[in-house]
Chains A and B, each alone.
Chain A
Amino acid sequence: MAKITLDNLTKHFGDLHAVEGLNVDVPHGSFTALLGPSGCGKTTTMNMISGLEQPTAGEIYFDEFPITKLEPGNRNVGFVFQNYAIFTHMTVYENLAFGLRVKKKDKLAKADLDKRVRSVADTVGLSAALDRNASRLSVNDMQKVALGRSMIVEPAIFLLDEPFSNLDSAFRAYMRTELKRIQHEIGQTMVYVTHDQVEAMSMADKIAVMDLGVLQQYATPDELYNKPANRFVANFIGSVLNNFLPATYKTANGTAAALHLAIDGSRSIDVSDRKAAIEGRTGTGSLSVSVRPERTRIVAPDAEEATIPARVILVEPLGAKDVVHMESGGIDVRTLSQPSARPRIGDNVGLAFDEAAVHVFDDDTGLALR
């Protein structure tokens, strides 16, 4: 077990800056996700941790030891890929035992090896399949074998690169739960690479969100969702598209207490508690605000709590709830609502914002202002 420190980690491939000045501390025993769209540098980062790539600049530490000069085989890292590499001519038992036989220089006693294999098989849910030939397994079980084989050698650090991408969605949901539980039980440091924000949010203790090689935010799932550092994070996290609206501010006597949404007929939003949105601003100017769909609700068009007027253009039923799409001053906005209270297409409504949940972003930098 170890903590990982990425110190100014940088990787260039010619002109391409795949990873730029990345600083991340992965605490000992924690579950950390590297999340971002394709091309964000997450897999390159993972490859530098495992030793498959050499950084252009910066250093990686396991505990206090710099390891970038170490061969991959000497880093004591376990790896699970999207494409499981297992031996199809061996049984599940032999596949699991193989890792131990190769890795451990001092040979384990047969009884000890047997105990370890059975214990790992139990953890990953393969106890009933130990004698089966690996070639006869389902895709789902093959991925369990790959997971178990990495786990059995008890590496200091566990690296997983989109291990569930090839699995069907029901099994993916099941494995998410199991992996999170397993990580808690064995207490191993895990780094998990994914492009799927649901996977990262649901499993990780902390998530490093990356875009174009640059770290956008490194925070808990709760913080990423409720306190996004910038517009990219606010947009990338969440299963329903976030709402973004243009706004203007007007300062008077050196303070700007309210933001005016650039939509006819909308109410101004009180942001006097968000100092950074106001500080140093003079005259008038523009900003963006965002509010999550579930922090808004449909009210009567003339209701006092209506923040903006809106017209319903589309309803997407998802079963337990609806996503209601509306248009307001040429901007698309969304809310979640109960199917029992479904509005009709074309309805004119009011949309009330939970003002405490409104975020303000600088238009030039995209940074959140609090």
Chain B
Amino acid sequence: MATIRLESITKRFGPITALDDVSFEVADGEFFAILGPPGAGKTTTLRTIIGLERPEQGDVYLDDDRVTDAWPGDRDMSIVFQNLALYPDKTVYNNLAFPLKQRKVAKDEIKNRVTQTAKVLHIEHLLKRKPGKLSGGERQRVALGRAIVRDPKAYLFDEPISALDALLRLEMRTELKRLQRELGRTLVYVTHDQVEAMSMADRILVLREGVVQQIDTPERVYHSPANRFVATVIGSPPMNFVPATIHLENGTLKAAHTEFAITTPAPQTDQLKDGDTCWIGIRPEDVRIETTGEEGMKATVYVTEPLGGETVVDLQFGDRVLKVLAPPTLKLKQDQPVRAFLDHKRVHLFTEAGDAVVSAAGDDVFDVTVTQTS
């Protein structure tokens, strides 16, 4: 059992506020990701949880016990950093055994636990080797092994796979998720890579400049982003944004761009007023391209980027270029005129400041009409 709770944590380094009133709770057995760009405060959050940083304000709770003043060693959590620290002169076995020896665990028990950990991570055949003789992926597994060998209350991982090759990262992503499910332990996972957070975590905390932006499931942060920042960080290629002007009339809201306009029943909010500037947010997969016909919106192909399984098409609408996902079977040429169709049940609206007003994807479905402006 381990729940982790942070209450109104503020952490300053001199004039810089690294964490600004950060609160969240990680449930027992949850895979919880903290996602954000460099400098967002992710690592500081992790270091605060384990006790390597002391916050100016707020408290850290472990299973409802206040541990804000407890030593890291007394919090019974283990941490894995991006730069793996393995002892180069010790064998894999002794690297794994070390945290247990330090805690004066009996020799038989150490052997048991090391063997079991090696089995879970598929490194049984490496136990006699030294780190210098291992590949990057194998070393990473040993580092993970050192974290789980001692059966702590919770694991804290700081970008543990971001230094690995792309292929290995794909493999490790799946393995980490399986491992966490098998162990059933609380895991807080820090990353700047949205794919890692989305694919592995039960819930994601999106952090920006020390401020929590959203805490939600992968589905919710993707389909109902709290603001423009979250919408940009989650998804690849990222959401497209088009500036538009709001016209409110007879219970309908019209957001007009120079090239096209979308009309919806007016949302119950006072965040958007007549004449306001707003952003229309469009996910790359929510636009369909047709090469013939007169319907839909006029666009031209700016660039095509084949990825194999799908193609990213950069479509030019007036002075804007939107990234759109198309099937690889659709063959397009640069500067070819095409017609684009917006999925009328999947459009997002944001205020000029970037707050989400409407996310017509997922639950709060509404019907959007798309018209050509000129």
A25 to chain B, nearest CB (A): 21
Interface residues of A in 138-196 (CB under 8 A from B): 168-170, 173, 176-177, 180-181, 184, 195-196
Q: A177-B303, A238-B309 are in contact. Are A170 and B166 (CB under 8 A)?
A: no
Is A287 engaged at the interface, CB distance under 8 Å to the other chain? no
Cβ–Cβ contact A292 & B309, under 8 A: yes
Asked if A318 lies at the interface with its beta carbon under 8 angstroms from chain B, I say yes
Contact A318 B199 (CB under 8 A): yes
Question: What residues of B have a CB within 8 angstroms of the CB of A224 in the complex?
Answer: 308
Check if B198 sits within 8 Å of A316, measured CB to CB.
yes
Residues B303 and A180 in contact, CB atoms below 8 Å apart: yes
Bits for B157-184, please: 1 = Cβ < 8 Å to A, else 0.
0000000011100110110011001000
- B248 CB contacts on chain A under 8 angstroms: none
Do B174 and A314 have beta carbons less than 8 Å apart?
Answer: yes
Whether A316 lies near B200 (C-beta < 8 A) is: yes
Complex Cα gap A314–B178 (Å): 7
Q: Among the listed A177, A203, A237, A323, which residue makes an inter-chain contact with B302, where contact means beta carbons less than 8 Å apart?
A: A177
Contact of B305 among A37, A184, A202, A237 (CB under 8 A): A202
Q: Is A300 an interface residue (CB 8 A)?
A: no
Q: Does B307 contact A (CB under 8 A)?
A: yes
Q: Which residue of B has the minimal Cβ distance to A316?
A: B199
Min CB distance A213 to B, Å, is 17
B237, B284, B306: which contacts A221 (Cβ < 8 A)?
Answer: B306
For the complex, is A320 an interface residue (Cβ under 8 Å from B)? yes
Minimum distance in angstroms from B332 CB to a CB of chain A: 13
Query: B166–A177 contact, CB under 8 A?
Result: no
A196 closest partner in B (C-beta)? B166
Task: Give the distance to chain B from A192, nearest Cβ to Cβ, in Å.
Answer: 13
With A37-B165, A314-B177 as contacts: A201 and B306 at CB distance below 8 Å: yes
Please tell me if A57 contacts chain B, counting CB pairs below 8 Å. no
Which residues does chain B contribute within 8 Å of A195, judged by CB atoms? Answer: 165-166
CB of B3 within 8 Å of the partner chain: no
Interface pair A319/B178, CB less than 8 Å apart = no
Q: Is A253 an interface residue (CB 8 A)?
A: no
With both beta carbons as reference points, the residue of chain B lying nearest to A201 in the complex is identified as B307
Q: What's the nearest-Cβ distance from chain B to residue A125, in Å?
A: 12
B298 → chain A closest CB, angstroms = 20
Residues on B with beta carbons closer than 8 Å to the beta carbon of A196? 166
With a cutoff of 8 Å between Cβ atoms, the chain B residues found around residue A317 in the complex are: 198-199, 218-219, 222
With A170-B232, A173-B323, A339-B219 given, is the CB distance from A198 to B307 under 8 Å?
A: yes
For residue A83, which residues in chain B have a CB less than 8 angstroms away from its CB? none
Cα(A176)–Cα(B304), bound, Å:
10
Fill in one digit per residue for A197-240: 1 if any B CB lies within 8 Å of its CB, else 0.
11001110000000000000000011011100000000111111
Residue of A nearest to B235 (CB): A319
A313 at the interface (CB under 8 A from B): yes
Contact B171 A241 (CB under 8 A): yes
B37 beta carbon closer than 8 Å to chain A: yes
Across the two chains, which residue of chain B brings its CB closest to A168? B37
A325 touches B308 (CB 8 A): no
Asked if A294 is at the interface of the complex by the 8 Å CB criterion, the answer is: yes
Kindly state whether residue B96 has any CB partner on chain A within 8 Å: no
Nearest CB to that of A185 among chain B residues?
A: B334
With a cutoff of 8 Å between Cβ atoms, the chain A residues found around residue B238 in the complex are: 170, 173
Cα separation A173 to B323 with both chains bound (whole Å): 10
**A177 engages B195 (CB within 8 Å):** no
Decide if A135 is an interface residue (CB 8 Å cutoff).
no
Asked if B312 is an interface residue, CB under 8 A from chain A, the answer is yes
The reply to whether the CB of B372 lies closer than 8 angstroms to some CB of chain A is no
> Does A38 sit within 8 A of B, measured CB to CB?
yes
- CB atoms of B309 and A320 under 8 A apart: no
Judge whether A202 and B302 touch: CB under 8 Å: no
Contacts of B195 in A (CB 8 A): 318
**Contact with B314, one of A177, A222, A323 (Cβ below 8 angstroms):** A177
CB contacts (< 8 Å) of A169 on chain B: these are 236
Return chain A residues, CB-CB under 8 Å to B232.
170
State which residues 98-119 of A face B: CB under 8 Å: none
**Distance A325 CA – B181 CA, assembled complex (angstroms):** 14
A240–B170 touching, CB < 8 Å: yes
Q: Is the Cβ of B305 less than 8 Å from the Cβ of A180?
A: yes
B234 interfacial by beta-carbon distance below 8 Å: yes
A221 touches B308 (CB 8 A): yes
Q: Which residues of B contact A320 (CB under 8 A)?
A: 222, 235, 283-285, 325
Residue of B nearest to A318 (CB): B198
What residue of chain B has the Cβ atom nearest to residue A181's Cβ?
B303
Q: How far is the CA of A293 from the CA of B166 in the complex (A)?
A: 17
> When chains A and B are docked, how far (Å) is the Cα of A222 from the Cα of B222?
29
Asked if A235 and B302 sit within 8 Å, CB to CB, the answer is no
Chain B residue contacts of A240, Cβ below 8 A = 170, 309
Min CB distance, B207 to chain A, in Å? Answer: 15
- Taking the closest CB of chain B, its distance from the CB of A71, in whole angstroms, is 35
Can you name the residue of chain B whose Cβ is closest to the Cβ of A199?
B305
Answer whether residue B22 sits at the interface, using C-beta atoms and an 8 A cutoff: no
**Are A316 and B173 in contact, with the CB atoms below 8 A?**
yes
Q: How far is the CA of A292 from the CA of B328 in the complex (A)?
A: 14
Chain B min CB distance to A22 (Å): 22
- How far is B309's CA from A235's CA once the two chains are assembled, in angstroms? 14
The distance from the CB of B229 to the nearest CB of chain A, in whole angstroms, is: 11
For residue B313, give the distance in angstroms from its CB to the closest CB of chain A.
Answer: 10
Closest Cβ of chain B to A172, distance in Å, is: 11
Q: Is B321 in the interface zone, CB < 8 Å from A?
A: yes
Q: Which residues of A contact B235 (CB under 8 A)?
A: 319-320
Q: State whether A202 and B307 are in contact (beta carbons under 8 Å apart), knowing that A170-B232, A319-B234, A339-B219 are contacts in the complex.
A: yes
Contact with A along B268-309 (1 / 0, CB 8 A): 000000000000000111000000000000000011011111
Considering only CB atoms, which chain A residue lies closest to B312 in the complex?
A: A202
CA distance A195 to B163 in the complex (A): 13
**Of B166, B177, B218, B305, which contacts A203 at CB under 8 A?**
B305
**Residue contact A241 to B170, C-beta cutoff 8 Å:** yes
Chain B: CB-nearest residue to A225 = B308
Take A184-B334, A197-B166, A221-B306 as given contacts and tell me if A313 and B178 are in contact as well, using a CB distance cutoff of 8 Å. Answer: yes
List 20 contacting pairs A-B, 8 Å CB cutoff, sorted by A.
A177-B302, A177-B314, A181-B334, A184-B303, A196-B166, A198-B307, A201-B307, A202-B306, A225-B308, A225-B309, A237-B308, A240-B170, A241-B170, A293-B309, A316-B200, A318-B198, A319-B283, A320-B325, A332-B174, A336-B309
Q: Which 3 A-B pairs have the closest CB atoms?
A: A225-B308, A202-B305, A316-B199
